[in-house]
């Protein structure tokens, strides 16, 4: 690497991580070529039609902020969601569960296509970045290193660079090449649940038909539906159901069965979904996979990040957030060791791998919380205690959800806190049963019950957040 020549990178995948990583590297003076198998969305739009949204939280915002894109995305694209709105199975009032004792804490609903386009435009405007759409990558020469693509005419394109980055998603061809190397660990596991998207349009005269500043959940034991708001006042709903069995996709053979099933289990949503049966028949049912692998890097010149390194299930709303945190960390490691790329990649993996494993576990656990526990009174009571204790003790008792969604404390630290808090909350709930009213006396009782247990909570060093600083 000569000091005068800019360093060069090939990025495979112009998705969320690929575009953000291109922004980071271009701003640091690299020359970057991004290869994407799909057509250019600037010309043709994203395939898929209706709005599909994602929850963007503090880690993702920090990742965007490192490339000076946070304000643009949050102000232009985001709808804050301050808690879960639980839709009960039987008729009864909706229950709002705030995400935090701090009313300004919120996760943000953003359009996946809109965000990807914003990042693509931002990267394309930077000097030294070129995009090559309709160029699927099918192999990597790990020694050169070079990525190997086909262009739209079918000709082979070989792109060599100082650094090859696989930002190519859960079924990454770059990772597939690494899988063929000696002692590469790899596992993938599918949930027995899949997902299908449905749609709630705006009210006839415009406006939202449900509370817009909430993530709506219909918890139904082993299955659930969620809905996130869009900027056009519609909602994107997602069913997370088993493929087979009861309350399952395979159980509904025709439109009449779909209609009857929704009337029985999601009654309040049916009048809001005029195209329910058409959407159900037309929209695909997709699978949910967790991918773990190691090492993420090879030879000091090839690395995977984002879903390519750690695809996780979406129940903590963290896959993209984690991918953006990867981008920020990788850029920081490369900037910190400009003459030691191999050392920088090793440091990136050392920092990120335990945290990616932790969020993969927490995402699986949160599925149980959302589909099952969130609707149960004992769980709702523990959440109430958790928030009251958080308010009382402040940072000393920040809950796992807050650490994951509203802080940049490493995921592994948040996971440990979650386990400790869970034990404490169960003990407090046992000692102080649910009251008739949540008054001062109740508050004093839970604070007193928690007092002798505080020693079981490991303090979180403020330095916990340091790892994402550039
Ligand atoms: C139903 C669902 C809901 C989700 N909700 C959330 C949420 O609320 N919050 C959140 O943070 N995360 C969420 N996620 C996770 C999030 O979508 C992913 O973590 C995120 O998209 C990862 O970004 P990425 O860039 O690593 O991969 P991707 O977004 O998958 O991008 C990979 C890119 O690589 C391209 N590519 C693939 N193969 C090739 C090839 N051979 N050659 C060239 N290019 C290639 C693809 O076309 C794509 O453009 C959700 C996921 C699902 C499935």
Other beta carbons within 10 angstroms of residue 271's beta carbon come to 11
pLDDT over 80 at 210, yes or no: yes
What is the reported pLDDT for 463?
40
The DSSP output letter for 464 is: G
Could you report the per-residue pLDDT of 15-70, keeping only the tens digit for each?
Answer: 999 999 999 999 999 999 999 999 999 987 665 545 689 999 999 999 999 999 99
List helix spans (H) across 89-214. Answer: 112-124, 173-179
Q: How far is the CA of 447 from the centre of ligand 1 (A)?
A: 43
Q: What distance in angstroms lies between residue 298's CA and the mean position of ligand 1's atoms?
A: 22
Cα of 414 vs centre of ligand 1, distance in Å, is 24
Pairing of strands 31-35, 8-12: parallel
Q: Quick one: which of 274, 329, 338, 458 has its CA closest to 1?
A: 338
Cα(267)–Cα(284) distance, integer angstroms: 23
Q: Which residues of 108-140 are buried (b: 16+ CB within 10 A; e: fewer)?
A: bbbbbbbbbbbbbebbbebebbebbbebebebb
Among 237, 314, 316, the mutation site with the greatest number of ligand 1 atoms within 8 A of its Cβ is 314
Half-sphere exposure in the Cβ direction for 116 (13 Å, CA): 22
Within 8 A by CB and 6+ apart from 350, the residues are none
Nearest CA to ligand 1 atom 38: 168
Give the architecture-level CATH label for domain 8-49+112-187+290-361: 3-Layer(bba) Sandwich (3.50)
Enclosing H/E stretch for 64: helix 58-65
Q: For the sheet containing 137-141, what is the strand order?
A: 137-141, 146-150, 156-160
Looking at residue 465, what DSSP letter applies? G
Helix (H) or strand (E) holding 41: helix 41-44
Q: How many A from CA of 38 to the centre of ligand 1?
A: 13
Measured torsion, CA atoms of residues 243, 249, 251, 254, in degrees rounded to the nearest 10: -150
Strands (E), 253-401: 286-294, 297-298, 302-304
Delimit the domains of the chain by residue range: 8-49+112-187+290-361, 376-468
Question: Which of 13, 57, 305, 370 to probe ligand 1 with, by most ligand atoms within 8 A of CB?
Answer: 13
Residue 401: per-residue pLDDT: 93
Cα distance from N-terminal residue to C-terminal residue, the chain? 23
Q: What is the pTM of this model?
A: 0.95
Residue 3 has pLDDT above 60, yes or no: no
Residue of the CA atom closest to atom 21 of ligand 1: 320
Bridge partners (DSSP) of residue 216 are 85, 227
CA atoms within 13 A of residue 167's CA, in its CB half-sphere: 27
Ligand 1 centroid–CA 150 distance in Å is 21
Q: Using the predicted structure, report yes or no on whether residue 467 has a pLDDT greater than 50.
A: no
Question: What tokens were used for 244?
Answer: 């087979």
Mutate to test the pocket of ligand 1, among 320, 321, 360, 370 (most ligand atoms within 8 A of CB): 320
Using one digit for the tens of pLDDT, what is the confidence trace for 124-138? 999 999 999 999 999
Query: Is 208 in contact with 200 (CB distance < 8 Å)?
Result: no
**Whole-number mean pLDDT of the chain?**
93
Distance 417 CA to ligand 1 centre (A): 28
412 neighbors 419 (Cβ within 8 angstroms): no
**pLDDT tens digits for 294-334?**
999 999 999 999 999 999 999 999 999 999 999 999 999 99
- For 208, list phi and psi in degrees, rounded to 5: -80, 145
pLDDT tens digits for range 377-436: 899 899 999 999 999 999 899 999 999 999 999 999 999 999 999 999 999 999 999 999
* Residue 46 confidence (pLDDT): 64
Nearest atom (ligand 1) to Cα of 14: 49
Report the alpha-carbon distance of residue 453 to residue 10 in Å, rounded.
52
pLDDT score of 375 more than 80: no
Can you say whether residue 252 is alpha, beta or left, with left for phi > 0 and alpha for psi between -120 and 50 degrees?
A: beta
DSSP 467: G
Helices (H), 217-340: 255-265, 276-282, 307-310, 319-336
| Ligand 1 mutation target, pool 10, 11, 16, most atoms within 8 A of CB | 16
| 467 CA distance to ligand 1 middle (Å) | 24
H-run or E-run covering 165: strand 163-166
- Strands 286-294 and 83-86, by their bridges, are unpaired
Backbone phi, then psi, for 359, in 5-degree steps?
A: -70, -30
Determine the average pLDDT of the residues in 222-247.
Answer: 95
Q: What is the pLDDT of residues 145-198, one digit of tens each?
A: 999 999 999 999 999 999 999 999 999 999 999 999 999 999 999 999 999 999
How many other C-beta atoms can be found within 10 angstroms of the C-beta atom of residue 329?
Answer: 23
Q: Which atom of ligand 1 is nearest to the CA of 322?
A: 11
C-alpha span between 21 and 134 (Å, rounded): 20
Residues 190 and 287 sit within 8 Å (Cβ to Cβ):
yes
> What lines the ligand 1 site, CB under 6 Å?
12-18, 35-38, 54-55, 136-137, 167-169, 173, 195, 238, 306-308, 314, 317-321, 323
DSSP E strands in 61-136: the ranges are: 79-81, 83-86, 95-98, 107-111, 129-132
* Whole-number percent of the chain with pLDDT over 70: 96
Q: Which atom of ligand 1 is nearest to the CA of 308?
A: 26
Instruction: Note the pLDDT of residue 166.
Output: 98
Q: What is the pLDDT of residues 422-450, one digit of tens each?
A: 999 999 999 999 999 999 999 999 999 99
Residue written as tokens 């699978």?
A: 287
Nearest CA to ligand 1 atom 53: 314
Q: Which residue has the tokens 């990558």?
A: 137
Structure tokens at 373: 């526990």
Which protein residue has the closest C-alpha to ligand 1 atom 9? Answer: 317
Q: How confident is the model at residue 221 (pLDDT cuts 50, 70, 90)?
A: confident
Tell me, letter by letter, the H, E, C secondary structure of 301-317. Answer: CEEECCHHHHCCCHHHC
Give nearest CA residue, ligand 1 atom 1.
314
Q: What is the CA radius of gyration of the chain?
A: 23
Give 101 Cα–ligand 1 centroid separation in angstroms: 31
With 0-12 / 13-18 / 19 or more C-beta atoms within 10 angstroms meaning exposed / middle / buried, residue 445 is middle
Residue 466: predicted pLDDT = 32
Own/partner long-range contacts of 134-138 (Cβ < 8 Å, ≥24 apart) = 134/36, 134/37, 134/38, 134/39, 134/40, 135/35, 135/36, 135/37, 136/37, 136/173, 137/12, 137/35, 137/37, 137/168, 137/173, 137/174, 138/173
């Amino acid at each position: 690497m000569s000091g005068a020549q800019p360093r060069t990178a090939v990025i495979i995948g112009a998705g969320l991580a690929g575009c953000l990583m291109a922004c980071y590297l271009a701003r640091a003076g690299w020359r970057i070529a991004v290869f994407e198998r799909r057509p250019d969305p600037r010309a043709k739009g994203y395939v898929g039609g209706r709005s599909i949204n994602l929850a963007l939280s503090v880690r993702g915002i920090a990742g965007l902020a490192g490339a000076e894109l946070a304000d643009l995305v949050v102000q232009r694209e985001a709808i804050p969601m301050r808690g879960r709105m639980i839709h009960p199975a039987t008729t009864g009032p909706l229950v709002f569960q705030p995400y935090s004792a701090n009313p300004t804490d919120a996760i943000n609903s953003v359009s996946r296509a809109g965000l990807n386009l914003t990042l693509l435009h931002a990267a394309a405007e930077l000097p030294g970045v070129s995009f090559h759409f309709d160029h699927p990558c099918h192999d990597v020469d790990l020694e050169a290193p070079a990525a190997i693509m086909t262009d739209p005419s079918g000709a082979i394109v070989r792109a060599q660079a100082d650094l090859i980055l696989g930002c190519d998603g859960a079924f990454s061809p770059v990772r597939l090449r690494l899988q063929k190397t000696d002692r590469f660990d790899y596992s993938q596991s599918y949930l027995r649940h899949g997902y299908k998207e449905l749609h709630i349009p705006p009210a006839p005269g415009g406006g939202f038909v449900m509370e817009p500043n909430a993530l709506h959940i219909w918890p139904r034991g082993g299955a659930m539906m969620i809905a996130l708001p869009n900027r056009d006042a519609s909602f994107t709903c997602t069913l997370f159901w088993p493929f087979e069995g009861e309350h399952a996709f395979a159980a509904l053979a025709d439109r009449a069965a779909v209609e009857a099933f929704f009337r029985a289990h999601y009654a309040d949503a049916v009048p809001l979904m005029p195209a329910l049966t058409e959407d159900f028949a037309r929209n695909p049912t997709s699978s949910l996979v967790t991918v773990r692998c190691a090492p993420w890097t090879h030879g000091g010149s090839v690395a995977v990040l984002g879903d390519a390194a750690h695809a996780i299930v979406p129940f903590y709303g963290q896959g993209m957030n984690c991918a953006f945190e990867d981008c920020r960390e990788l850029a920081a490691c490369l900037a910190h060791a400009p003459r030691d790329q191999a050392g920088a990649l090793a440091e990136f993996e050392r920092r990120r791998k335990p945290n990616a494993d932790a969020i993969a576990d927490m995402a699986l656990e949160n599925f149980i919380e959302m589909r099952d526990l969130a609707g149960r009174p004992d769980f709702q009571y523990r959440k109430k205690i958790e928030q009251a204790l958080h308010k009382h003790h402040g940072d000393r008792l920040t809950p796992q959800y807050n650490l994951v969604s509203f802080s940049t404390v490493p995921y592994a630290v948040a996971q440990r806190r979650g386990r400790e808090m869970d034990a404490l909350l169960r003990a407090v709930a046992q000692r102080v049963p649910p009251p008739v009213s949540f008054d001062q006396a109740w508050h004093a009782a839970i604070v007193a019950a928690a007092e002798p247990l505080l020693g079981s909570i490991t303090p979180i060093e403020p330095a916990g957040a340091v790892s994402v600083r550039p």
